[in-house]
């Protein structure tokens, strides 16, 4: 039987069609993109950048001593990776582990995930700042939050082991590697530090070990505002770009890090860099004015990515704020850059803002601080909006899997309104977006908790209030159609989708939704026409292919349906409904039994958990009773009894 349970949510999660221009990003100092020479994978998709960023700033074993720069450097590097200059690495492909999160097990698990997931043309980026034992030139043991003092090997990781893992990923999988490790030696021995430096090649990786003169005391290491991470970021942001071509190559970065002017910045620390291609350029560098600004502030200990923050309050805080206030402000900006606006509650941008607004010396810039926070809330919300306008498959998938995340957006917008006040010229649109996300949250809640019958009427009330404020907002009418369809009011839903298309005729999502409600009314010819148009408007939207495939499947055009399911799964391989319906198609075709079983296995893997439906579905009749089918059901649903 054709499955519709998993298809409906595909369009129900699509919701936004606001046609105003996307809000311009506030970061101005870079050009895209990190490692633009990423090759296409076998499937023709662009390589994926995955990153692990670790900063172990303190340890359970107090003998190792605190490293206050480690967490900050890790967060700053993660913030850099999230910019276009750093590759616009998404949170799903970036693991940030700091302080108590930076345990040996967490780091090892993250490394295993990155290496196992990487394929030809993908990029692996590693930044790690921690303490360690430096015993020989090629032997360093990395320490983590839960590492014991002795025996060190029991809870530490050999740098050589890390190098081997990265080299295998580069050699066997064709992944491209950039790694930078900063080690603050625990009980350093001068002879070991002297033997540490040197270049070598191992497993296809080009390795460089660097060190500087030892620091005078352990305390100077703990309190120094300088670090290798600071120097590394300044180089990547442009100071290493000696030929001013706005690109930073690995040899340029190494030369910069080894200059006499730079090395004292990370005195007493050992550094390690590894790249899989010395000729590849790492990132786009800051240009002109930004590079000059970095150079002018090179002596400052402030995180380089913050030195480029274009805000009128920077100099004021540097001049009038004491050291704790400056540190708090830097944490505030870093939290914003990392998207940590309301979480974690103990150290997020909102909490830091509240603390900054208690400092009397900063009264003259309170208004600027509030505006900076309001901009951050709006930027984060706008990214979700932009993803829908572009019909991002990843964004649609995130709504399917992590609907609770969207509860933050109404809070962001409410806080924006509170910070800016009712007289702000954007107040009305901020309120419209807040109402939209309130309705979206209610509707997603209704889909995941069907017993709560109050969610959908409440969602519709929010949307009508939004329409009263902005009657031309296509995204409101689209969401009204989605809510109506969820309530099985298909004719009303059809009218709302037409209103959305009237206001935004080139937007593919309401066109997909229109096709689906026509199909739900068994108007298959009209649904097919609407589905073809939807694909022409958004060929990157997997839901369009899935919907048209269902129409063809209902009409008995199994070959055409199979082609469309395959196209959808090439865009998003984790659509359980598409895998299941493809299995139904294949089970009805001669010689496709093995393929049908594999599609069914993938449907279960990605979330299809209805064994009763599977064993009773007549479309899968050719599989029922076969040993392979029975084994699959028994393994996937061990508690299921017929």
219-223 average pLDDT score = 45
Structure tokens at 444: 């997603």
Quote the domain boundaries for residue 238: 49-299
C-alpha 197/C-alpha 273 separation (Å) is 11
Q: Which residue has the higher pLDDT, 298 or 185?
A: 185
586-606 average pLDDT score = 94
Structure tokens at 129: 């700042």
Say if residue 97 is preceded by a cis peptide, omega within 30 of 0: no
Is 323 a domain residue?
Answer: no
- Using the predicted structure, report yes or no on whether residue 418 has a pLDDT greater than 50: yes
pTM (global) more than 0.95:
no
On whether the CB atoms of residues 145 and 60 are closer than 8 A, the answer is yes
- Using the predicted structure, report yes or no on whether residue 366 has a pLDDT greater than 80: yes
- Using the predicted structure, report yes or no on whether residue 561 has a pLDDT greater than 80: yes
Residue among 281, 383, 362 nearest 317 (CA): 362
Residue among 442, 444, 433, 522 nearest 12 (CA): 444
Supply the pLDDT for residue 285: 67
Question: What sign does the CA torsion over 289, 295, 301, 303 have?
Answer: positive
Name the domain count of the chain: 2
Residue 181's pLDDT band, with cuts at 50, 70 and 90, is very high
On whether the CB atoms of residues 477 and 509 are closer than 8 A, the answer is no
Is 526 a domain residue?
Answer: no
Mean pLDDT lowest for which of 11-15, 148-152, 573-577? 11-15
Is 331 a domain residue?
Answer: no
Q: In 3-state terms, what secondary structure has residue 272?
A: strand
C-alpha 47/C-alpha 54 separation (Å) is 23
Domain boundary among 270, 299, 328: 299
Is 305 a domain residue?
Answer: no
CATH of the domain at 214: 3.40.50
- DSSP letters for 393-431: HHHHHHHHH-GGGGGHHHHHHHHHHHHH-TTSTTHHHHH
Structure tokens at 226: 């300088």
> Quick one: DSSP state of residue 25?
P
Is 345 a domain residue?
Answer: no
Please state, rounded to an integer, the average pLDDT across all residues of the chain: 80
Domain boundary among 299, 320, 350: 299
Please count the other Cβ atoms lying within 10 Å of the Cβ belonging to residue 19.
14
For 504-558, the three-class secondary structure string (H helix, E strand, C coil) is CCCCHHHHHHHHHHHHHCCCHHHHHHHHHHHHHHCCCCHHHHHHHHHHHHHCCCH
Numbers of helices and strands, H then E, in the chain: 28, 11
Supply the pLDDT for residue 309: 53
Residue 41 half-sphere exposure toward CB, CA atoms < 13 A? 17
- Using the predicted structure, report yes or no on whether residue 3 has a pLDDT greater than 70: no
292-314 average pLDDT score = 56
C-alpha 543/C-alpha 9 separation (Å) is 10
Q: Which residue has the higher pLDDT, 289 or 109?
A: 109
Q: Give Cα 540 to chain centroid, integer Å.
A: 19
540-564 average pLDDT score = 93
Residue 209's pLDDT band, with cuts at 50, 70 and 90, is confident
Please count the other Cβ atoms lying within 10 Å of the Cβ belonging to residue 413.
25
Summarize pLDDT for 55-103 with one digit per residue, the tens: 998 898 877 878 888 988 898 899 888 877 788 888 778 889 998 888 8
On whether the CB atoms of residues 537 and 513 are closer than 8 A, the answer is no
Residue 31's pLDDT band, with cuts at 50, 70 and 90, is very low
Structure tokens at 219: 């305390």
- For the chain, the first-to-last Cα distance in angstroms comes to 19
- DSSP letters for 332-382: HHHHHHTT-SS-STTSSHHHHHHHHTT-GGGGGGHHHHHHHHHHHHHHHHH
Mean pLDDT lowest for which of 41-45, 294-298, 383-387? 41-45
- Using the predicted structure, report yes or no on whether residue 275 has a pLDDT greater than 60: yes
Burial 158-194 (b: 16+ CB within 10 A, else e): bbeebbebbbebbeebbbbbbbbbbbbbbebeeebbe
H/E stretch holding 235? none
Domain boundary among 282, 299, 316: 299
Supply the pLDDT for residue 18: 28
Phi, psi of 611 (to 5 degrees): -60, -35
Supply the pLDDT for residue 367: 84
Question: How wide is the angle at C-alpha 633 spanned by C-alphas 628 and 636, nearest 5°?
Answer: 120
**Is residue 368 classed exposed, middle or buried when 0-12, 13-18 and 19+ CB atoms within 10 A define those classes?**
middle
- Using the predicted structure, report yes or no on whether residue 7 has a pLDDT greater than 50: no
C-alpha 172/C-alpha 157 separation (Å) is 22
Residue 581's pLDDT band, with cuts at 50, 70 and 90, is very high
Is 527 a domain residue?
Answer: no
Summarize pLDDT for 149-174 with one digit per residue, the tens: 664 556 788 888 888 899 988 888 88
C-alpha 408/C-alpha 357 separation (Å) is 23
* Percentage of the chain modeled with pLDDT above 90: 34
């Amino acid at each position: 039987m054709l499955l519709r349970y998993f298809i409906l949510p595909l369009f129900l999660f699509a919701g936004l069609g606001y046609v105003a221009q996307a809000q311009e990003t506030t970061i101005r100092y870079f050009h895209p993109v990190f490692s633009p020479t990423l090759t296409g994978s076998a499937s023709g998709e662009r390589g994926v950048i995955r990153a692990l960023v670790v900063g172990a700033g303190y340890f359970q074993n107090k003998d190792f001593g605190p490293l206050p720069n480690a967490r900050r450097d890790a967060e700053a590097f993660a913030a850099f990776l999230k910019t276009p200059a750093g590759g616009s690495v998404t949170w799903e492909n970036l693991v940030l582990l700091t302080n108590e999160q930076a345990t040996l097990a967490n780091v090892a698990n993250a490394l295993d995930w990155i290496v196992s997931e990487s394929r030809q043309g993908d990029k692996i980026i590693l930044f790690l700042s921690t303490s360690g034992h430096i015993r020989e030139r090629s032997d360093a043991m990395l320490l983590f939050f839960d590492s014991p003092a002795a025996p060190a090997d029991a809870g530490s990781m050999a740098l050589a082991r890390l190098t081997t893992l990265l080299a295998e990923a580069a050699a066997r999988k064709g992944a491209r590697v950039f790694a930078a490790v900063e080690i603050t030696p625990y009980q350093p021995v001068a002879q070991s530090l002297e033997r540490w430096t040197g270049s070598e090649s191992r497993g296809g990786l080009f390795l460089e070990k660097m060190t500087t003169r030892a620091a005078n005391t352990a305390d100077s290491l703990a309190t120094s505002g300088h670090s290798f991470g600071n120097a590394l970021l300044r180089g990547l942001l442009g100071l290493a770009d000696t030929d001013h071509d706005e690109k930073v190559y690995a040899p340029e970065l190494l030369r910069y890090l080894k200059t006499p002017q730079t090395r004292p910045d990370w005195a007493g620390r050992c550094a390690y860099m590894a790249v899989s291609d010395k000729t590849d350029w790492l990132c786009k560098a800051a240009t002109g004015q930004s590079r000059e600004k970095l150079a002018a502030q090179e002596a400052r200990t402030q995180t380089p990515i913050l030195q480029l923050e274009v805000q009128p309050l920077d100099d004021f805080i540097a001049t009038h704020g004491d050291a704790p206030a400056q540190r708090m402000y830097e944490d505030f900006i870093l939290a914003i850059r990392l998207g940590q606006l309301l979480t974690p509650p103990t150290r997020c941008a909102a909490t830091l803002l509240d603390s900054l607004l208690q400092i009397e010396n900063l009264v003259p810039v309170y208004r600027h601080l509030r505006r900076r926070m309001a901009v951050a809330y709006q930027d984060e919300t706008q990214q979700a909006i932009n993803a829908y306008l572009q019909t991002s498959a990843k964004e649609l998938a995130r709504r399917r899997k992590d609907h609770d995340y969207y509860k933050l957006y109404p809070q962001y917008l409410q806080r924006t309104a509170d910070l800016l006040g009712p007289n702000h010229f954007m107040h009305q649109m901020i309120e419209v977006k807040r109402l939209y996300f309130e309705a979206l949250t209610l509707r997603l809640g209704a889909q995941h908790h069907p017993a709560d019958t109050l969610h959908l009427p409440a969602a519709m009330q929010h949307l009508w209030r939004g329409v009263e404020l902005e009657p031309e907002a296509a995204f409101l009418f689209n969401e009204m159609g989605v809510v109506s369809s969820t309530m099985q009011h298909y004719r009303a839903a059809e009218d709302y989708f037409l209103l959305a298309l009237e206001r935004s005729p080139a937007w593919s999502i309401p066109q997909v939704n229109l096709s689906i409600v026509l199909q739900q009314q068994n108007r298959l010819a009209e649904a097919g026409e609407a589905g073809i148009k939807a694909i022409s408007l958004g060929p990157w939207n997997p839901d369009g292919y899935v919907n048209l495939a269902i129409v063809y499947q209902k009409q008995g055009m199994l070959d055409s349906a199979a082609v469309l399911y395959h196209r959808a799964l090439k865009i998003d391989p984790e659509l359980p409904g598409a895998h299941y319906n493809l299995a139904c198609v294949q089970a009805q075709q001669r010689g496709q039994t093995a393929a049908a079983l594999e599609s069914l296995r993938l449907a279960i893997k990605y979330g299809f958990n209805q064994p009763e439906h599977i064993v009773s579905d007549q479309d899968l009749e050719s599989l029922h009773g076969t040993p392979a089918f029975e084994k699959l059901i028994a393994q996937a649903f061990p508690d299921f009894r017929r």
